Structures are given as C-alpha cells and as structure tokens.
Amino acid sequence: MTFRADEAARAGYEEVEKYLVPRPRDADEAQRARSRRALEDIADGLGPVVDRYPSWHPLVRNHDSRHPVTVPSDRCGYKGLDHTRFFVNGFITCPYGDGQEVLDSVLALPRHHAAYITAEKLDVQFYNPQTTPILVKCHWEELFPDHMIPLSVAVPLLLEKEVPCWTWSQVAETWESMRSYFLGAPHGARSSLFVSQETGQGIKKVWETLIYTGMFGPIKV
C-alpha cells in the first residue's frame, strides 16, 4: 500500500483531538474550544501526530541498544508518563497528580549535541480535569523545513546507536526487518512523517552498506 503522508497526518490528528480534548461531561464548550486551539498550536510547532519514533530520535535514543524502544517510556529515561500522544518533535502526556516526576525525569536526560529535550506544564485542560498536561519537546540545534529530519542529521544519529552493536551482535538484520525502527511510524517503504523518500533511501543505503561488511555477523534470513 502506498504511504500517503497527508492522509496519515490528518488521521493521526483527528484521533489525538478526540482523545485529548475533554469530553462534554468534563468541560463546557468554551473550555473544549480552548483545548482545541491549544492543540492546534502545539501541532503547528511540533509537526504531525505519529505512532512511534525512529529508534535514533533524540526523544527515545536513551535506551539499551540490545532492547531498542520507539516510544517514550521508563526504558528511555522518562518517569510518570500517562495518557500520552506523540508528535514528530515532542509529545503531550497527562499524568494524574502534579506531574513533577515527568518534569524531573526530563531534566535528568543527557543532552545531545544535535538536540535537547524540555518539559513544561500546560495551562490548558487535556484528557481529564484531574490530570496535569505536560508538553515534552525536542529542540533541534538546526531548523528543519516541514519538520522533516535531513539525511545529514538522521544518519549520524543512527550510526551512534547502531555501530557500537557490532561488539555483541551475532547476526545482521535486513532493511526489511529494521525499517520500522529506523523510519518511525506510520511509514512507507522508505519514508515516514520523520524523513522524506530521499532521506529514507539514503538511510537504507547506509544500513545495507554496514550489514554487508559483515560487522554484525551473517545476514539474518
């Protein structure tokens, strides 16, 4: 099936709006309208709604490479996340309570030279009146048109995570088995809401060059 980025982005936003904007029983129409406007502004700044991140993305890169993750969780440094929805360059999480555990865990994340992560409480109602909405944002050191990560940034981030695996890897995984990790989701054969077709093709070429050196072991079939 052909990957249609616009359709995927639109469907993702509709789902997130339905999930995060409070139900009529929990907020009056003025509050719900304010929540919708706030969500629109956040999406404009963070990019499209996504299901998963590339495993090399700064928002999830602080994981054990033996057990890679593609969604923010305690396995990549976060604490206290709950009722969370993701965007290309950040996410909204709505824990019950004051959310301080989330703020503290983000503050403790190591800073990377390509990007840094911040967290702030939002002065708007999302999900439920008893939760504290928090915006976690990835600040890239350079601006990317249309929120698409260029090859010159994606490849170094991928190499930082994958090359060290040669010390313990026993087999090399093919592009087909790794592309969902490298492209994020939703994705097509070589592109996603994170990377263009050209960038995805470049990542594929780099990965295939690596596995055909034999550095990770025989190619898994």
- Asked whether residue 122 falls in the same domain as residue 157, the answer is no
Structure tokens at 128: 């439920």
Residue 182: its H or E element: helix 175-183
- Asked whether residue 140 falls in the same domain as residue 174, the answer is no
- Asked whether residue 51 falls in the same domain as residue 119, the answer is yes
In this predicted structure, what is the pLDDT of residue 216? 95
Question: 45-63 pLDDT, tens per residue?
Answer: 999 999 999 999 999 999 8
- Asked whether residue 73 falls in the same domain as residue 10, the answer is yes
- Which residue from 115, 105, 95, 213 is spatially nearest to 156, judged by alpha carbons? 115
- Which amino acid is located at 114 in the chain? A
Question: 64-90 pLDDT, tens per residue?
Answer: 888 889 999 999 999 999 999 999 999
In this predicted structure, what is the pLDDT of residue 2? 60
- Asked whether residue 154 falls in the same domain as residue 51, the answer is no
pLDDT band at 164 (very low <50, low <70, confident <90, very high): very high
Question: 99-141 pLDDT, tens per residue?
Answer: 999 999 999 999 899 999 999 999 999 999 999 999 999 999 8
- Asked whether residue 22 falls in the same domain as residue 131, the answer is yes
Asked if residue 95 belongs to a domain, the reply is yes
- Asked whether residue 29 falls in the same domain as residue 123, the answer is yes
Query: Using H for helix, E for strand and C for coil, what is the string for 89-109?
Result: CEEEECCECCCHHHHHHHHCC
Answer yes or no: is pLDDT of 203 > 60.
Answer: yes
Question: 5-43 pLDDT, tens per residue?
Answer: 788 889 999 999 999 998 888 888 999 999 999 999 999
Among 144, 165, 198, which residue terminates a domain?
144
- Asked whether residue 118 falls in the same domain as residue 156, the answer is no
Q: Which domain holds residue 96?
A: 5-144
- Which residue from 59, 56, 71 is spatially nearest to 165, judged by alpha carbons? 56
